[in-house]
Structure 1
Amino acid sequence: MFAIFAIASSSQAQEIKPLEVKKVMEKVADWQMAHFNDSYSGNKEPHHQLDWTNGALYVGMVKWAEMTGDEKYYNWLKEIGENNEWKLYFRKYHADDHTVGQLYIELYRKFKDDKMIKPTKDQFNFIMLHPAQTLMNWKTPYHQDRWNWCDALFMSPPVWAKLYNITREEKYLDFLMKEYKASTDFLFDKKESLYYRDEKYIGKLDNGTKIFWARGNGWVFAGLVNIMNELDSNSKEYKYFLKIYKKMANKLLKTQTPQGHWAMSILGQDFYTTPETSGSSFFIYGLAWGLNNGVLDKTTYAPAVKKGWNAMVGHVTEDGMLGYVQPIGAAPGKAWPDKTEVYGTGAFLSAGTEVYKLYGGE
């Protein structure tokens, strides 16, 4: 562990070069494709191709495919869709099982094949006609049929935003806004400008600090970017999301560790000293996007992106595995240099696409 920390801390001052960003992204993407059928997080079987874990991987992988233009990545992603007849995963309302829809819509944008998005449109149309009537409270019946945990804000809302963008049908945007506002009213701590993972953590303390899970807030922060990418920057909807985004960005700037990552419990740096790369990569993705889109001040935020990206690269092994990815969970926990997860790779690739642009890549 000491050696990893030493590598990461010594690399923070290194200048970032677009070619080097691309090289490490390729190494990570290729490693993950070669190990796609491995099992992770202590599971005996690999994740189902349509599971949210892989859905988050595809979100980053399709960004990488677009950045590199290499058809091998598009072909790999298309095969996922074809193998599964372009369906979402098995739970109709559950946000996790909508995640893969983000991939399908991006592939539709490239290949213009209606069959890639028809099952997603059909399912979302059904949901709008039969909206879940459940409460946001955690122990109520069918509670996860709505977005009552912060991870959900990465999984499903960007699909609604993408459908709105490609169809121009306001109904998708209206549903997105109604449900997103309900989730934010329930889970967002206005004082801390961070999201609780779910109701169970509201009012709960860990070593005297409020519990704001890094990856959970990473899901939200990256999700905000993926939503805003689909909206008119002059629209009231975009401005709603941007307001939340800026509040979170300001808090993230203040809570980044000296090593460049974010503690697994964002306010608990003193107690969670192990680096964690999935939440941190999502934060770097979001902050770099803000710089690229002119919504964050470069003098203020660029050093955080530089320090963060160099720290993440310091946790990529020689053969391309991203280490220190916290296993599946819902709260701060543990991570190890020799353990990874597919969603960590997705977060890293998402971050890389924005860092590449930020440092002059085309």
Structure 2
Amino acid sequence: MNRSTIFKTLTCFAFAAFSQAQDIEPKEVLEVMEEVADWQIENYEGLYSGHSKPHHPLDWTNGALYVGMVKWAAMAEDDKYYEWLKGIGEKHDWQLHRRKYHADDHTVGQLYVELYRKYNDPDMIEPTKEQFNYIMYHPAQTSLQWKTPYHQSRWNWCDALFMSPPVWAKLYNITGEKKYLDFMMDEFKATTDFLFDKMENLYYRDESYMGKLDNGTKIFWSRGNGWVFAGLVNVMNELDPNSKEYKYFLKIYKKMAAKLLKIQTPAGHWAMSLLGQDYYPTPETSGTSFYIYGLAWGINQGILDKATYAPAVKKGWNALVGHVTDDGMLGYVQPIGAAPGKAWPNKTEVYGTGAFLSAGSEVYKLYGGK
């Protein structure tokens, strides 16, 4: 082992020990969530990870932001965050994004349902219901194989399981119409049967990564599995815990949670290639935020053993907070991609903020917040 490797190893363990020692106070969770939310709103159209123009307000990137931001809005002391979110929906007539079948363009529907729950305005969800009804009665017949014709008309990449299924589950919950649940279950099961590795209890990003190795390890993208893990939670939140559908998702969730506990890095984050932390030492906060969100939720629900999982949540949350700048920017968010890559302390993305706010909403509860 050379000097550089020894230094990196010692630094990693020192940071891990420091993180473990830091107590988490509910008030401090609220404070950092507010800082991150406010910074993101002020820099909503900022270009922080190399793209040439701001994301469209209905794009999946912002849709993922809204999923976390609406959780923060429910915790904040005034309605200014709700008003900001409502203004986005009003400006775009409560429409989903441009592609009818593509899961990414459904993501903003999660926000619309949550705003409907607050304001009880049917106009907020009518376009989503109409579009999803069309999809149900004209279901895509495309293959789940990657790069086949019109392949992304179905959920053949793991990110999709965060983007679209929770919208279907929310519509089922608020309307009581089981057709939404049945459609979602059929498609979710098809995707899981195709992309879930039963040996590793993780999801391939898509078919193109199956059978490939990165430094001798299978390629399981951290944020990709984070999308899935958070998506499972967002779906289960809409279902009866005694239902067979809930139990289906719970089984996957528990398998993933156990795996994630084993592969968390000593520093508290998860490596961008989940099984290759020796080769991807750089922190990455979007995937890690989704894992902290999901694990803290499981403890709060009494699903995961607190003594077993709480240390991982504590270590992970402290690591995340350590990558928030003094002015509230969440750093080390991997730019848009589909595979393990790089992240930098001065680069961020709106979906990273959304993931962080989701994580904070459950960490706050876990440590006694009301």
TM norm structure 1: 0.98
Q: Deviations over 1:301-334 (max 9, x none)?
A: 0000000000000000000000000000000000
Task: Say what the alpha-carbon RMSD is for the aligned residues.
Answer: 1.4
Equivalences for 1:1-362 in 2 at 5 Å? 10-362=18-370
Distance 1:315 1:113 in 2: 38
Note the C-alpha offset of 1:11.
3.4
Distance 1:217 1:44 in 2: 27
One-letter identity of the residue aligned with 1:224: L
Distance 1:8 1:116 in 2: 45
Q: Deviations over 1:197-247 (max 9, x none)?
A: 000001100000000000000000000000000000000000000000000
One-letter identity of the residue aligned with 1:139: K
The percentage of counterpart residues that share the same residue type is 78
Assess if the C-alpha contact under 8 Å between 1:12 and 1:311 holds in 2: no
Note the C-alpha offset of 1:10.
2.7
SS at match of 1:141: coil
Note the C-alpha offset of 1:8.
7.3
Assess if the C-alpha contact under 8 Å between 2:12 and 2:267 holds in 1: no
Assess if the C-alpha contact under 8 Å between 2:13 and 2:266 holds in 1: no
Greater displacement, 8-17 / 113-122: 8-17
Q: Deviations over 1:22-41 (max 9, x none)?
A: 00000000000000011243
Distance 1:358 1:72 in 2: 25
Q: Deviations over 1:146-170 (max 9, x none)?
A: 0000000000000000000000001
Structure 1 residues not aligned, in runs of 5+ = none
Distance 1:269 1:124 in 2: 40
Distance 2:252 2:312 in 1: 19
Note the C-alpha offset of 1:185.
0.3
Distance 2:230 2:367 in 1: 20
Q: Deviations over 1:56-93 (max 9, x none)?
A: 00000000001124210000000010111100000000
Assess if the C-alpha contact under 8 Å between 1:55 and 1:99 holds in 2: yes
Note the C-alpha offset of 1:43.
1.2
Structure 2 residues not aligned, in runs of 5+ = 1-9
Distance 2:194 2:178 in 1: 25
One-letter identity of the residue aligned with 2:218: K
One-letter identity of the residue aligned with 2:302: G
One-letter identity of the residue aligned with 1:39: L
Assess if the C-alpha contact under 8 Å between 1:95 and 1:147 holds in 2: yes
One-letter identity of the residue aligned with 1:343: Y
SS at match of 1:92: coil
Partner of 2:5: none
SS at match of 2:21: coil
Q: Deviations over 1:258-281 (max 9, x none)?
A: 000000000000000000000000
Distance 1:135 1:45 in 2: 33
Note the C-alpha offset of 1:145.
0.2
Q: 1:161 and 1:69, CA in 2 relative to 1: closer, same or farther beyond 3 A? A: farther
SS at match of 1:12: helix
